Structure 1
């Protein structure tokens, strides 16, 4: 059994994906595997990916049609042989000790770990230069200096201290997180009825928490989200549909419903 499996779903973001994989080169050894799930990617992306020269071999899963975030990640979990499954998005540069910190965070207990997300925005030519450089120490210093934490980060930390696991379960996200594979399998992984954008990770965190897994934040595990244009109207519409489905799933848990409604209104008001 491997120590850890990195699960990265992707759809046509090769300039970002290759940079994320380049950042993992110095961290991957024989105890770690990297699984890339191509979710409805173009033939050109698949062809160009084969030309990449990396310091490790990736395990590749190819869905010819886009199956969505839940099913793509589930296929990665089922393929994984690592004790710890680490979720990483294809547009987030991991810090230089990303893997080791995730693994160490699982010592002495049943945990699901969520790291810190900082946002940073660069044009494509800068991403190209980072890739060609191989992400040097000076590159990391630049990225860290140019990045900013997510909005309202101090308020979020205070809220977590007050509400504890109630809010941790409702704010679980999978762009920078990890859990034991056996715990993911035990709760039936991601619910594939969530389609489009949003809430599939909230739902997973909720079910992990209810099963006895403690959701923990480790703010020292940073990854840098490469901001890119999104269709906010479409995201909001898909999120609302998934949110209503999630509320039906947790019917009867009044405290969690209240917290979920409050946060959803705060974010999407």
Structure 2
């Protein structure tokens, strides 16, 4: 994506991760952030973060990185973790289940397409991105859900680094998010996909959501519970 900075070995590391791993989805480190330009249109939280980093706020569209910082990789020393409830929840999941996400039944939540890879044929078989998702975001989640439901394994790789260059939000309004959630819940309206509803219509505790999906997997093994489910 045009707002991402990639470490120079990012593509090579993704390729190597798939050697002899046909069913693997690789999720690189996606929560790193950096300011490469200042914008007067920045939201309040960005200006507050910049005030922590700079004694004086720069001027509109003033560059905060040099090309040399990118070429020599030193921009990685100036990045920081996105600090939101969403990221904190994902980090807590990794603490419990590890980077291989063993035992975690919603691994698609780590499939963020600014730094993910999977073999091309799997995506082609699943029908590519859903072009019915026309508002901001969610098309990567949708593809991740389908990859998960097709039986793929997910793995987080902290050593595969990309950094998002912060900019004023592209999201027009909260209505975009609501419309996408409604679309996703209509699309995945079955018992196998209850995780989609729990993840998007919370807040539900991540561990509770995971245990519910584990129980459903057990019940699905018994034909007598089919009508109940």
Offset of 1:251 from its aligned partner? Answer: 1.0
Q: Whose strand proportion is higher, 1 or 2?
A: 1
TM-score by length of 2: 0.66
Aligned partner of 1:114 in structure 2 is 27
**Distance in 2 separating the partners of 1:248 and 1:260:** 12
Aligned partner of 2:194 in structure 1 is 254
Offset of 1:181 from its aligned partner? Answer: 0.6
- C-alpha RMSD of the superposition: 2.6
Larger radius of gyration: 2
**Within 5 Å, which residues of 2 pair with 1:1-269?**
89-109=1-21, 110-117=23-30, 118-123=32-37, 124-126=61-63, 129-130=66-67, 133=68, 135-137=70-72, 140-141=73-74, 143-151=75-83, 153=87, 155-160=89-94, 161-162=96-97, 164-232=103-171, 234-252=172-190, 253-262=193-202
TM-score by length of 1: 0.57
User: How many residues are matched?
Assistant: 172
Query: Whose RCO is larger (CA < 8 A, sep 6+)?
Result: 2
**Distance in 2 separating the partners of 1:94 and 1:251:** 37
SS class of match (1:229): coil
Offset of 1:218 from its aligned partner? Answer: 0.8
| Change in 2 beyond 3 A, CA 1:144/1:263 | farther
Runs of 4+ with deviation above 4 angstroms: 152-155, 162-165, 263-266
| Change in 2 beyond 3 A, CA 1:259/1:219 | same
Q: Deviations over 1:1-32 (max 9, x none)?
A: xxxxxxxxxxxxxxxxxxxxxxxxxxxxxxxx
| Change in 2 beyond 3 A, CA 1:244/1:264 | farther
Q: Deviations over 1:195-248 (max 9, x none)?
A: 02111110100001111211221111111111011255x242212111111111
Q: Deviations over 1:93-115 (max 9, x none)?
A: 10121011111111232112111
Offset of 1:135 from its aligned partner? Answer: 3.2
SS class of match (2:143): helix
Aligned partner of 2:53 in structure 1 is none
Instruction: Mark the runs of 5 or more structure 2 residues left unpaired by the alignment.
Output: 38-60, 207-229
Offset of 1:125 from its aligned partner? Answer: 4.8
| Change in 2 beyond 3 A, CA 1:206/1:174 | same
**Distance in 1 separating the partners of 2:200 and 2:106:** 8
Q: Deviations over 1:140-166 (max 9, x none)?
A: 22x222211122556423314447542
